[in-house]
Structure 1
Amino acid sequence: MRLLILGLGYSARHSLAGLADEATSIAVTTRSAAKAARLVAQGLDAIAYDGTAPSPALAAAIGTASHILVSAGPDRDGDPFLRHHAGDVARAVAGGGLAWIGYYSTVGVYGDTGGDWVDDLTPPNPASERTRWRVAAETAWSDLGAAGNVPVALLRLAGIYGPGRNAFVNLAAGTARRVIRPGQVFNRIHVDDIATVTAAAARARLGGPINVADDEPAPPQDPIAYAAGLMGVEPPPEVPFEAADMTPMAATFWGENKRVGNRRLHADLGVPLAHPTYREGLTALWQSGRWAGGDEDREEASPRFRRIAGP
């Protein structure tokens, strides 16, 4: 396996560990030149690429890759890699050396179902501008793969948690909230399970939509209360959804209510989730002491998880 990771963020970095033993070469990209230099010092072939101009180094890496994992979101101008390197991907597909593409997407592409179930084959119904960008990027990568019969796995991720990115972090920082909206549920996925699914899909060269979600959609307040119990602290007070002060992005997130089925993950890949619900995931993080994460976990976590500096 000659692995190229386009965008070495939180999920992709954890997935790299599961793919590294099978890779004869590894190249990664990052937006930051400073981070690229740090990764090179760690022994990785790292390319600084911010999507603003073509990169000869990236073109070369695409041309030699057998497996590509895409882990960077699109914007209004499209996918940041296809913006300048769609031709390089097309040539790699046509040349026969590229065997598999994995694309990290989101279950947000399904939109709102009023709490009903979606599965891997449910047609996307994006409700926001950002999820419409995602569907367009999914389509662009899928079309490139289809032109040369290269499978493209659309790995649609549920709410990601793991070291440095979990309810314990917000409880420790005093920023956790238990927002109550009757009937609201979300799926989640532990980053270690993302890594397991990614590696299995790459090995099997499986294409098409794959919902990377846990087995139990649950109300958003439940993981917070469960984490508080493990920490031995009082959970934060309940806040009615109507009284909660939310950013526009958070409001969009809460405006979608669905239960996400993960049939292909189990049936087509045969992957047993290490953390089938938030309870196993949070318990493992707490008992292992990994909940606070390391410097890289905190650097890559979303802003609401960057409020503590260590355990």
Structure 2
Amino acid sequence: MIPGIAPKLAAPPVASAPQPRHMFVFGAGFVGRYVSERLLAQGWQVSGTCTSATKKRELEMLGMTASVFDATESNLENIHSLQQATHLLISIPPIPGIGDPLLNLNEDLRRTLSHGNLEWLCYLSSTSVYGDCGGALVDEDHTVNPKSESAKLRFKAEKGWLDLMDDLNLSAFIFRLGGIYGPGRSALDTLAKSKSLSQRQKLRESKQYTARIHVADIYQAILASMSIRCARKILNVVDDDPAPRAEVFAFARSLMQRRYPDLITKTIDVKSTGLDYKESIIPAEKQVSNARLKQGLGVKLLHPTYRSGLQSILDSWQLES
């Protein structure tokens, strides 16, 4: 040391900033948008895809980085935010005759995900993959026997995403969802809009059991699964009450008649299919167990039955008005 000159102290090490949590949503529709809004409120970065410039502007107004994306024509190279994503939610359904459009971009998808920051992936599937079980209670270990084309494509996509995550050694979850409902998409909304049931909806009226799940509980399941590392799990995400559709509409009507009777302008017959007698549906009777969702993820359902879910939607109308 030179006399009279004090030694310089070493600068303290600079702590590296934690990796910001970044969710990328392929298909920011009803579920994707609901999840995105709440993650944004928690300080997450959120990016995603949509199908039109109008929807892109809507997502950007929420604070998302959005891209118009057609998986049958586009490639992943132009979606720059995908490589920064730590979490990936896939809410794009398979396309008849094509299958999962993202998995069809095999090498592009594999290259993009393997060179990014991805830690967690969740693919939103459907309980339709179980097929018809004669009304029996089925859990995730039950034999999968899809009958319809869409159900077969769902099951094939499940396997494709799990295989891809095995290769990349990343956490992957398959959520087999029941019928999704929530604010803006429920029996109450159908009645309030005097909206006729679609042919697909009418075909479901003869079912004795219909699995369903409130979008808020899908969000709960997503959050809970993020804390489990290096897992590959399939989970049924459904509520406790697989009630028939006619029963749900009857309850929704009773709620509205008590509080908003003027909103009901005509009767919607949800028992009659209104279809030619020659038309039929593929049987799909089953009661879907959610025990693994509760025990494995520790999820306590906000809306264990449609009664709680519909009541909460009606209460939100009062707050908005």
1-structure distance, mates of 2:115, 2:195: 54
Deviation at 1:246, TM superposition (A): 4.7
Deviates more, 1:30-39 or 1:272-281: 30-39
Structure 2: which 5+ residue stretches go unaligned?
1-20
The residue number in structure 2 matching 1:301 is: none
What is the DSSP-based 3-state SS (H/G/I as helix, E as strand, rest coil) of the residue aligned with 2:83? helix
In the alignment, residue 283 of structure 1 is paired with which amino acid? Q
In the alignment, residue 50 of structure 1 is paired with which amino acid? D
Matching of residue 175 in structure 1 with residue 183 in structure 2 = no
The residue number in structure 2 matching 1:221 is: 246
The residue number in structure 1 matching 2:78 is: 57
Query: How does 1:128-147 map onto structure 2 within 5 Å?
Result: 128-147=148-167
In the alignment, residue 283 of structure 2 is paired with which amino acid? G
Aligned residues of 1:63 and 1:91 also touching (Cα < 8 A): no
1-structure distance, mates of 2:62, 2:317: 24
The residue number in structure 1 matching 2:300 is: 272
Cα deviation per residue 1:8-34 (whole Å; 9 max; x = unaligned)? 000111122343355643211112133
The residue number in structure 2 matching 1:297 is: none
2-structure distance, mates of 1:174, 1:2: 38
- Could you list the structure 1 runs, at least 4 aligned residues long, displaced by more than 6 angstroms after superposition: 176-180
What is the DSSP-based 3-state SS (H/G/I as helix, E as strand, rest coil) of the residue aligned with 2:216? helix
2-structure distance, mates of 1:156, 1:246: 29
In the alignment, residue 63 of structure 2 is paired with which amino acid? G
Aligned residues of 1:31 and 1:50 also touching (Cα < 8 A): yes
Aligned residues of 2:83 and 2:113 also touching (Cα < 8 A): no
Deviation at 1:203, TM superposition (A): 3.1
1-structure distance, mates of 2:146, 2:217: 25
Aligned residues of 2:236 and 2:289 also touching (Cα < 8 A): yes
In the alignment, residue 285 of structure 2 is paired with which amino acid? N
What is the DSSP-based 3-state SS (H/G/I as helix, E as strand, rest coil) of the residue aligned with 1:185? coil
Are the structure 2 counterparts of residues 41 and 238 from structure 1 closer, same or farther at C-alpha, using a change threshold of 3 Å? closer
Are the structure 2 counterparts of residues 168 and 137 from structure 1 closer, same or farther at C-alpha, using a change threshold of 3 Å? same
Which of these residues, 89, 103, 107, is aligned with residue 82 of structure 1? 103
Matching of residue 190 in structure 1 with residue 214 in structure 2 = yes
Aligned residues of 2:24 and 2:87 also touching (Cα < 8 A): yes
The residue number in structure 2 matching 1:27 is: 47
CA RMSD of aligned residues (A): 2.9
1-structure distance, mates of 2:58, 2:256: 34
Deviation at 1:94, TM superposition (A): 4.1
Matching of residue 118 in structure 1 with residue 135 in structure 2 = no
Deviates more, 1:46-55 or 1:197-206: 197-206
The residue number in structure 2 matching 1:104 is: 124
The residue number in structure 1 matching 2:12 is: none
2-structure distance, mates of 1:37, 1:171: 29
The residue number in structure 2 matching 1:155 is: 175
Deviation at 1:95, TM superposition (A): 4.5
Q: What number of residue pairs does the alignment pair up?
A: 285
Aligned residues of 2:188 and 2:253 also touching (Cα < 8 A): yes
2-structure distance, mates of 1:101, 1:31: 21
Cα deviation per residue 1:22-77 (whole Å; 9 max; x = unaligned)? 5643211112133223323443211110111214222x333222211000101121
In the alignment, residue 230 of structure 1 is paired with which amino acid? L
Query: How does 1:250-289 map onto structure 2 within 5 Å?
Result: 252=281, 255-289=283-317
2-structure distance, mates of 1:237, 1:77: 36
Aligned residues of 1:194 and 1:212 also touching (Cα < 8 A): yes
Q: Which has the higher contact order (CA 8 A, sep 6+)?
A: 1
1-structure distance, mates of 2:51, 2:195: 31
The residue number in structure 2 matching 1:36 is: 56
Aligned residues of 1:89 and 1:144 also touching (Cα < 8 A): no
Larger Rg: 2
In the alignment, residue 226 of structure 1 is paired with which amino acid? F
Are the structure 2 counterparts of residues 124 and 258 from structure 1 closer, same or farther at C-alpha, using a change threshold of 3 Å? same
What is the DSSP-based 3-state SS (H/G/I as helix, E as strand, rest coil) of the residue aligned with 1:229? helix
